[in-house]
Amino acid sequence: MAKPIVTIVGRPNVGKSTLFNRIAGKRISIVEDTPGVTRDRIYAECEWLDNHFTLIDTGGIEPDTIDTIFAQMRVQAEVAIEMADVVLFMVDGKEGVTAADTEVAQMLRKAKKEVILVVNKMDKFVNNDNIYEFYNLGIGDPVSISSSEALGIGDLLDEIIFRFDETMNTGEEDDSIKIAVIGKPNAGKSSIINKIIGEDRVIVSDIPGTTRDAIDTKFEINGQKYTIIDTAGIRKKSKVLESVEKYSVLRAFTAVERADVCLLVIDADKGVTEQDIRIAGYSHENNKGMIIVVNKWDLIEKDNSTFKEFQEDVRKALAYATYAPILTVSALTGQRVNKVLDAVDEVYNFRNLRVSTGVLNDILTEAVLMNQPRTVKGKRLKIYYATQVAVNPPKFLVFVNDSTIVHFSYERYLENKIRESFEYKGTPIVIEFRSKNEKKL
C-alpha cells in the first residue's frame, strides 16, 4: 500500500517550514522570517507510532498574486494539495485571520480533501482564546501548536494518523504483482506498457514529460494479477524546470516504494547515462526487484558481439545491481516485449523464495571454511547461525559474536555464496548481522 501523503500549506511566513522540520526530525527546509523562502516543495519520509507517511513542505500561497515567484509557488502548492491524502492548513495565531487565509480556506474546501486547521505560534505566553476566531474559516476544529517551541506537535501527529484511517484505502489486500516502470523521459516507458497490456491505456508522445502522474493499470494474464505503474520520466534536478514536473519526480519515487519489481527502461541509442544510474540506485536502495529493459534495440546496428559489449557497459555502469537481468526490446515493433512479464514473474518468485534454516547454515558453514573472515580490532568474526526472516525482499538474520566487526567485503562474499546456491535473480537480498546477546532496537 502506498504511503499517505501529508502536505503543509498556508500563506507565507506562518511557520510551515519550522513545523516541517519538527516533524521530519531534522532541519531540511530553510527557515527564515522572509516570506517566500521556500519556493519549491520539499519532502521527507516520516514516521509516528509505526505509521509511515510522506510529508511535503510548500511555498506560501498568495491568492490572486501577480508576482511571478509567488504565482509559481501557488501552482506548486495546488499540485501538492491535489497529491495529498491529508492537508495541514497552517495559520498564524498571533496575527489572526487574514483575507489571504480566507481565500486559501475557500480553495481547500473546493479541493474536497481531508484538512486539519493548524493554528501556529500559540506558545504559553499567547492568549489561547484567539483560537476561536479561526472557526470562521469553516475548516473545522483548529489544532493549536507552537512549531518553534515544539508545543502540541504530538497531538497534531495523532490527529494526522487518525485521518489516515479516514482517507486511506484499507480494503482487501492487493495480491497483484506491482510493477513500477521507471526511467528518464522519452525512453519509451508508456509505449512498452501499451504493448504489454495490449491496448493504448497510457498517452504516448514524443515530447519528454508527457506522463506527469503515476498511473496504475490493473490487468490479469493466465490467472496472475498485475498492477503496472507508469511514472513520469525522472529528469536531472537541474533540468526540472516546470513546477508540476517536480511533483512527478516525487510520484516516481513513491511508485518505486510501492513496487515489487521495477522495470528500468534505458534508451539503447543513448546507453546508460548518469541519470539512469541514479534512478537504478533509488530502486536498489529500496531493495526492489529490478529488470533492465533496453528499449529501441531495433535502432542499433548489430554484429555478433553487440549485445555482449552493451551488456558489459551496463554491468560496469550499474555495478551495484549485477543481479538485475537485461532484456533488449523494441516497443515500436513489439520485439521481445512479450518476454517482459515472464521476467517479472521470475524475479517475483525469487523475491518470495524461502530457504530452510538447515540449508542456509550449511551454505554459510562451507563459505566460512573456504574463506575465514579476517581479524578486525584484534578480534575474528564468528558466525553462530543464520535464518531467513522475511521475503519480498529476502532478508537473512545472521547471529555473530560481534556485529561491529563485520567487514562489508565479507558481507558481500557471503551474499555471493548464497546467490551461487539460489541465484535470487533480479532482487537484492538483505543480510543483517546481530551479536548473539544484542537486543533488537
The one-letter code for the residue type at 67 is D
Q: Would the annotation count 15 as a binding residue?
A: yes
Q: Would the annotation count 425 as a binding residue?
A: no
**Are 341 and 395 within one domain?**
no
Q: Would the annotation count 186 as a binding residue?
A: yes
pLDDT at residue 410 greater than cutoff 50: yes
Average pLDDT over residues 393-397: 96
Q: Would the annotation count 17 as a binding residue?
A: yes
**Are 338 and 399 within one domain?**
no
- Report the percent of the chain where pLDDT is more than 90: 36
For residue 242, is it within any domain? yes
> 351, 386, 401 — which closes off a domain?
351
**Are 20 and 116 within one domain?**
yes
Q: Would the annotation count 120 as a binding residue?
A: yes
pLDDT at residue 95 greater than cutoff 50: yes
Q: Would the annotation count 239 as a binding residue?
A: no
Separation between Cα atoms, residue 119 and residue 399, nearest integer Å: 50
Q: Would the annotation count 60 as a binding residue?
A: yes
Q: Would the annotation count 187 as a binding residue?
A: yes
The residue assigned the cell 501538492 is 80
For residue 441, is it within any domain? no
User: Which strands form 430-435's sheet, in the order they lie side by side?
Assistant: 383-390, 395-400, 430-435
For residue 131, is it within any domain? yes
Separation between Cα atoms, residue 417 and residue 363, nearest integer Å: 7
Q: Would the annotation count 123 as a binding residue?
A: yes
Q: Would the annotation count 183 as a binding residue?
A: yes
Which CATH number covers residue 209? Answer: 3.40.50.300
What mean pLDDT, rounded, does the chain reach?
Answer: 81
> 167, 191, 213 — which closes off a domain?
167
**Are 123 and 104 within one domain?**
yes
Q: Write down the pLDDT at residue 316.
A: 94
pLDDT at residue 246 greater than cutoff 70: no
**Are 160 and 24 within one domain?**
yes
The residue assigned the cell 521556500 is 38
Q: Would the annotation count 190 as a binding residue?
A: yes
Q: Would the annotation count 428 as a binding residue?
A: no
**Are 223 and 103 within one domain?**
no
**Are 342 and 370 within one domain?**
no
Out of 95-109, 118-132, 209-223, 318-332, pick the least confident: 209-223
Separation between Cα atoms, residue 69 and residue 77, nearest integer Å: 12
Q: Would the annotation count 421 as a binding residue?
A: no
Pair 271, 312: CB distance under 8 Å: no
Average pLDDT over residues 252-265: 85
Q: Would the annotation count 13 as a binding residue?
A: yes
pLDDT at residue 294 greater than cutoff 90: yes
pLDDT at residue 290 greater than cutoff 80: yes
For residue 195, is it within any domain? yes
Pair 174, 218: CB distance under 8 Å: no
Of 293, 268, 283, 324, the C-alpha closest to 192 is: 293
Average pLDDT over residues 399-406: 93
Output b/e per residue, 88-100; b: 16+ Cβ within 10 A: bbbbbbeeebeeb
Residue 29 pLDDT grade (very low, low, confident, very high; cuts 50, 70, 90): very low
Separation between Cα atoms, residue 79 and residue 73, nearest integer Å: 10
Highest mean pLDDT among 123-132, 188-197, 345-354: 345-354
For residue 335, is it within any domain? yes
Q: Would the annotation count 96 as a binding residue?
A: no
Q: Write down the pLDDT at residue 360.
A: 96
Residue 405 pLDDT grade (very low, low, confident, very high; cuts 50, 70, 90): very high
pLDDT at residue 209 greater than cutoff 70: no
Pair 47, 23: CB distance under 8 Å: no
For residue 418, is it within any domain? yes
Segments forming the whole domain that contains residue 333 = 177-351
Q: Would the annotation count 71 as a binding residue?
A: no
- Between 220 and 367, name the one with better pLDDT: 367
Q: Write down the pLDDT at residue 127.
A: 60
Q: Would the annotation count 1 as a binding residue?
A: no
Q: Write down the pLDDT at residue 337.
A: 92
Residue 344 pLDDT grade (very low, low, confident, very high; cuts 50, 70, 90): very high
- Number of domain units in the chain: 3
Q: Write down the pLDDT at residue 107.
A: 81
Q: Would the annotation count 189 as a binding residue?
A: yes
Strand partners, 320: none
**Are 187 and 333 within one domain?**
yes
**Are 364 and 345 within one domain?**
no
Q: Would the annotation count 227 as a binding residue?
A: no
Q: Would the annotation count 379 as a binding residue?
A: no
Output b/e per residue, 150-173; b: 16+ Cβ within 10 A: ebbbeebbeebbebbeeebeeeee
Of 184, 164, 298, the C-alpha closest to 235 is: 184
Q: Would the annotation count 234 as a binding residue?
A: yes
**Are 330 and 430 within one domain?**
no
Q: Would the annotation count 270 as a binding residue?
A: no
Separation between Cα atoms, residue 290 and residue 340, nearest integer Å: 12
Residue 353 pLDDT grade (very low, low, confident, very high; cuts 50, 70, 90): very high
Separation between Cα atoms, residue 119 and residue 122, nearest integer Å: 7
Q: Would the annotation count 295 as a binding residue?
A: yes
> 117, 140, 167 — which closes off a domain?
167
Q: Write down the pLDDT at residue 174.
A: 65
Residue 20 neighbours by CB distance under 10 Å: 27
Average pLDDT over residues 133-149: 87
Question: For residue range 366-379, what is the model confidence (pLDDT) as tens digits?
Answer: 999 999 998 887 88
pLDDT at residue 17 greater than cutoff 50: yes
Q: Would the annotation count 126 as a binding residue?
A: no
For residue 172, is it within any domain? no
Q: Would the annotation count 296 as a binding residue?
A: yes
Question: For residue range 34-86, what is the model confidence (pLDDT) as tens digits?
Answer: 443 333 446 677 888 888 888 887 766 655 555 444 555 556 566 667 778 89
Q: Would the annotation count 230 as a binding residue?
A: yes
Q: Would the annotation count 97 as a binding residue?
A: no
Q: Write down the pLDDT at residue 423.
A: 93
**Are 331 and 200 within one domain?**
yes
Average pLDDT over residues 116-132: 77
Q: Write down the pLDDT at residue 189.
A: 85
pLDDT at residue 115 greater than cutoff 80: yes
**Are 161 and 185 within one domain?**
no
For residue 376, is it within any domain? yes
Q: Would the annotation count 298 as a binding residue?
A: yes
Q: Write down the pLDDT at residue 149.
A: 86
Q: Would the annotation count 375 as a binding residue?
A: no
Q: Write down the pLDDT at residue 31.
A: 41
Q: Would the annotation count 57 as a binding residue?
A: yes
